[in-house]
Amino acid sequence: MPPSRHTTHAPDRSPALRSAIEASGYYPEVVADAVFAAVAGEPVEAHLVHHEPTIDERDEVRRHVTVLALTPTRLILAHTDEHAPDDVLPAPYTSSTTEAIRLSAIRTVVVNRMVANPASYDGQPGPVPDASEAVLTIGWGAVSRIDLEPAGCADPSCEADHGYTGVLGSDDFSLRLSAAAEGPEAVAELLDFARILNARTVGAADRR
């Protein structure tokens, strides 16, 4: 494979990403093929792999894996789902979807972290964070939502119709991890990925 034309000061973590996909135990060759096809030869600066089993309408366990890969120019999102046989395919199958977003197109990176026992929080770096839960939300304008509520005024006795007020938001992707469910290491990995993504989108914003 020819070397990428892009340069980066960060080490290429492609082997680590492949190892993380294999460690998830979820059809690693299928997932890796989809992810690295979207990466398209660029170095991987950061990654996150999340395996989440779900229960379908027939109370059967179906597995889902989400992979985030950060390259010097793009954020790669990959989803692979497990499906039971149906009218389309008579055998069990997977479906993989990848999306590549230019870093310059990312509008928001929202990190919400919950810290238990905040009085004892020392903020010192360590192998795992004190955060009990973290949510990463990324918006690039592909999906927008508006939250509306009736508008009012300062007069508590006013019965006039003031119309509606709302907030327009973008949350194209959101991932929530908790130390209780996935382990503190998973929360640490999410926060580390968010830190690197924030740093990379700052530079990308200067090039818009």
Tokens of 78: 């990959």
| Mean pLDDT score across all residues of the chain | 83
Q: Check whether 208 has a pLDDT greater than 60.
A: no
- Position 141 scores a pLDDT of 80
Q: Check whether 160 has a pLDDT greater than 90.
A: no
With both helix axes pointing from N to C terminus, report the angle between 28-39 and 14-24 in degrees, rounded to the nearest 10: 150
Beta bridge partners of 124: none
Domain coordinates in residue numbering, the chain:
1-105, 106-208
Strand runs labelled E in the chain = 46-55, 61-70, 74-83, 93-102, 108-115, 131-139, 144-150, 164-170, 173-178
Q: How many Cα atoms occupy the beta-carbon half-sphere of 203 within 13 Å?
A: 8
**Residues 6 or more apart in contact with residue 200 via CB below 8 angstroms:** 45, 70, 72, 103
Burial of residue 90 (number of CB atoms within 10 Å: 0-12, 13-18, 19+): exposed
118-158 pLDDT, tens digit each: 887 776 665 555 689 999 999 998 555 555 567 777 777 78
Q: Considering just the CA atoms, what is the radius of gyration of the chain in Å?
A: 21
CA distance 43 to 12: 5
- Position 6 scores a pLDDT of 46
Handedness of CA 1, 11, 189, 99 (dihedral sign): negative
Handedness of CA 78, 82, 83, 89 (dihedral sign): positive
- Position 5 scores a pLDDT of 44
Full-model pTM: 0.78
Q: Which residue has the higher pLDDT, 81 or 170?
A: 81
43-101 pLDDT, tens digit each: 999 999 999 877 666 666 678 999 999 999 999 999 999 888 888 889 989 999 999 99
- Position 189 scores a pLDDT of 94
Q: Check whether 3 has a pLDDT greater than 70.
A: no
- Position 190 scores a pLDDT of 95
CA distance 151 to 155: 12
Q: Which residue has the higher pLDDT, 14 or 142?
A: 14
pLDDT grade for 175, boundaries at 50, 70 and 90: very high
